Each structure stands twice: as C-alpha cells, then as structure tokens.
Amino acid sequence: MDNLTVIVLAAGGGTRMKSKTMKVLHPVGGRSMIGHVLSAVQATAPSRIVAVVGHQREQVGPHIQQLVPDAVLAVQETQDGTGHAVRVACEAADVREGTVVVAAGDTPLLDGQSLREFVADHTASGRAVSILTGIVPEPKGYGRIVRDRTGDVVAIVEEKDADDEQRGIHEINSGILAFDAAFLTDALGRIGNDNASGEYYLTDTVQIARDAGLRVGAYIVDDVRQTEGANDRAQLAELGRELNRRIVTRWMKDGVTVMDPATTWIDADVVLEPDVTILPGTQLLGATVVREDAVVGPDCTLKDCEIGLGARVVRTHGELAVIGDRATVGPYAHLRPGTRLGVEGKIGGFVETKNAVIGDRAKVPHLSYVGDAEIGEGANIGAGTIFANYDGVAKHRTVVGRQARTGSNNTFIAPVSIGDGASTGGGAVVREDVPPGALAVSAGSQRNIEGWVVSRRSGTPQAEAAQGGVVDGDADTGVS
C-alpha cells in the first residue's frame, strides 16, 4: 500500500516468560512470535516496517533484520509506554505522512488478510484514528473502548485507570491501531504520563483526536484471538495449540487427510500436496514438503524434509532429508542431514543414515548405519551393515556401485569402494576396494573344535545341554 508505515512494538521485557530468551523470540508453529507478526505485516505491502526494540535488543534486532532485511530498528532505551515507543519509531524512520499502523510483536495468530482489511477500512473511512477492537467475555487487563450515547468511540481507558462502570465494558483495544501519520506525529508530542502507570499511553491519542474534532472509529474483529498476545509459557502453549489447529484445518480443507488433528503438529511454513495422508503422532516441522499421495506416520518427526510422491514414511525421525517418489522409510529410521533416497528406494527398520545418497531402487533394509556414502541404483545392503566413516580424526566416504549385493553384518572401512555389480560375503570387513563384479570375502574359513564346551565349561547349563542332559533354565543367570 502507498506510504504505509507499520510499527511493530517489541521493546518490552516479557518478564513473565521467566526466560533468557526475549519474549517475542519464543518459537511457536515453527517461527518466532515476532516472525508470525512480521509475516502478517508484510501481507499489507507496507512502504516501511519499523520495529521498536529495547530489552535484549542484541537478540531481537538481528532476528528482525534476518527476517525483514530492510526493516528500520528504532531503539527505545527505557520502556516509558506505548506512546513513547511509537514516538521513537516515528522519529527513527522520519515518518511524516501517509498511514501508520501499530501492532505488538507477540501475537502469533495475527493473519495478513485481517490486517489488510483493517487498513483498507481505515483508509476508506478517512479517520484520524482507527482501533482494531474485539468483544471478549473476559476483558481483564485490556484497555476498554468507551463509546458515547450515539455509539461513537470517545476514549480508550486502561484497566488501571478505569472506574467500575468502565471495567464492565467488554469491547477491548486489541493493541492494533491505524493512524493518519500527520495527526499521529503531532498528537504524540502532546500526550502526558499523568496516569496510574506513569507511562505515555498511545491510546491517549484517541482523546486528542476527538478534542480536535477529528474522526475516530473502531473496527470490530470477530476472530479476536488473532490479536491475543502470549505473556507467559502457558499462554504460549495455548496459542500454539490454536495456531496448529488452524494450520491443520486449512490443510484438511486443501485436500490432506489428517487422521488425528489433536496429535498432528504442522509448522506454518510446511507445504503439503493434495491426497497426502498424515497418521497420528506426526510432527511436520520447518520447511518440510510432502508430495501428493505420500503417507506419513504414525509417529514421525520430520524437520526440513522433502517426501516424494506416494512415498511411505513410518515412525521416523528425520532432518534435512530428501525421500524419493514411492520410496519407503521406517519403521524406526533415523534420517540425518544430507540423506537422499532415490525413487522406490528403501530405508528399513533401525537404520540410521547421514550424508548418504542412496540411488533409485537401492535398499538398506535392516539394522544399519550408513554415513558419508553413495549407494548406486538398485544395490542391496545386507542386514546389520556399518559404514565405518570415522577413523577417529577424519570422516571418509564409501561408494557402493550399481546393483551391488553386500552380505549381512559387513563393515565398510572408509575410504573404500565396492564396484558395480560386486558382492561381499557375510561378516566381511571391507578395507580395500572391490572391483566391479568381484566377490569379496574377508572372514577366515570356519573351524569347529569338537567337545570344547564340555571340557571348558563343565557344570554349566550350557555344558549340560551339550551333553543332552536336563536343562535348568532358571539357573542360567548369565548374559547372553
């Protein structure tokens, strides 16, 4: 919008969080609280965003600039009230004309669409001040909207300054206001701090506009939770649950099956395609993308992962992994960063992968660790294989060729390569490269020493069993 300045207030201490992390930086739904606010604010296409920082600004400032590189940071040295904060912002950005919108930095449910509608209503009405208000059952703590007999807004009275009658008002100031900039900058110079908190109240501008004969009005929002702030961790969890409910509902409307919305957590930036199915106990976090017809869950946590068309991921913990179309993963797989599984590939039960490129139709079906590896198309890795990538000092790579078949319980001591179409025997410890098409065996030939148990372990249940005697199961307390 033309000449729109949005001021986001984030200087307050947030002491009730009892945290070394500043309040607005607490994460919810995969973003910081202020991240949600900034994203809603950006939907109004403002000419500039000014963030007021104070408490722990060395944490808050860089975070804001990372999200909105051209945001202006206004430093409020002491938190002398919302009116003071907005004055500091207007001075820092040299705001003189146009429209100014003020919002708080701790309202994670704020939605860009609602903010756009509010700003449009304000500019169309030609008002000096517009207040985004809501009717709430429990108005405690909020500024109350005082109207005259004709219904016009005459003032906002803070809880601390309100009389009994005013405390009974259920229409509250959400904290989001819009102003004509020229009026605002003039009015901010006139407000005082003669009130119960000794602070400069932004809300006093309402009275000033009325006295000057300018228009003031309220825009009542139905979905008042959008403007709700989190002051402590219980409120944060509550808003987090509501945010998640909204995100999950939106995806269901867009064609995603969610079997149990109550145990499904989806971050704000996740992308799901139609006909994806999410089974209970699943968290899709960060920038995770799930393609059409894939089934994820039950019990998966996937952060920044990409799951291909029709893939199946069961009881898996994954981060920064890419799973190919129609591939299968789990149950009990651990996908660490840099895992890439090809089309129709398989990572099976109790398999951990890291920095591993596993080709199309290649399989690592059981009980293995695959680190710093490249596995060719169609290869099959035997059960219980360890890619020994670490020599205690440095990490090394293992390459397994196309259509290789490696035996069970192998150890590949990197750096090493196994050629295309090669095989390895069971229990092989592969230290040297295996040429294409060769069979590598490293275990010695087997020797059986007859009668060893009876001569060396006589009197034990094992020896008794070896002699065909009665086996006393209860007596066997040894570890096996």
Stretch that binds ligand UD1, among 40-48, 81-89, 121-129, 340-348 (CB under 6 A): 81-89
> Which one, 14 or 297, has the nearer CB to ligand UD1?
14
State the amino acid at position 46 in one-letter form. P
CB of 187 to ligand UD1, least distance (A): 13
> Which one, 4 or 156, has the nearer CB to ligand UD1?
156
């096996």: which residue's tokens?
A: 480
With residue 123 as reference, give the H or E element that holds it. helix 112-125
**Residues between 213 and 272 with contacts to ligand UD1, criterion CB under 6 A:** 229
Instruction: For residue 173, state whether it binds ligand UD1 (rule: CB under 6 A).
Output: yes
CB of 13 to ligand UD1, least distance (A): 8
> Which one, 202 or 323, has the nearer CB to ligand UD1?
202
Cis bond leading into 298, ω under 30°? yes
Q: Binding string to ligand UD1 for residues 100 to 139, with x set by CB under 6 A, is what?
A: ----xxx---------------------------------
Stretch that binds ligand UD1, among 110-118, 198-206, 377-385, 444-452 (CB under 6 A): 198-206
Cα–Cα distance, 150 to 152 (Å, whole number): 6
| Residue from 22, 128, 156, 367 binding ligand UD1 (CB under 6 A) | 156
Neighbours of 274 (CB within 10 A): 12
The two three-digit tokens of residue 216, written as one number: 């003031």
Neighbours of 220 (CB within 10 A): 13
Q: How many CA atoms lie within 13 A of 381 on its CB side?
A: 36
Contact 129, 205 (CB under 8 A): yes
| Residue from 17, 34, 85, 101 binding ligand UD1 (CB under 6 A) | 85
Nearest-CB residue to ligand UD1?
A: 143
Cα–Cα distance, 89 to 207 (Å, whole number): 21
**Residues between 329 and 358 with contacts to ligand UD1, criterion CB under 6 A:** none
Catalytic amino acids? 366
Q: CA separation (Å) from 8 to 49, 149, 272, 434, 452? A: 7, 33, 31, 63, 80
């989190």: which residue's tokens?
A: 230
| Residue from 32, 73, 142, 401 binding ligand UD1 (CB under 6 A) | 142
Contact 28, 237 (CB under 8 A): no
Q: How many CA atoms lie within 13 A of 227 on its CB side?
A: 24
> Which one, 14 or 359, has the nearer CB to ligand UD1?
14
| Residue from 4, 6, 7, 12 binding ligand UD1 (CB under 6 A) | 12
Q: List residues near ligand UD1 by CB under 6 A.
A: 9-12, 52, 76, 79-82, 84-85, 104-106, 142-143, 156, 158, 172-173, 175, 201-203, 229
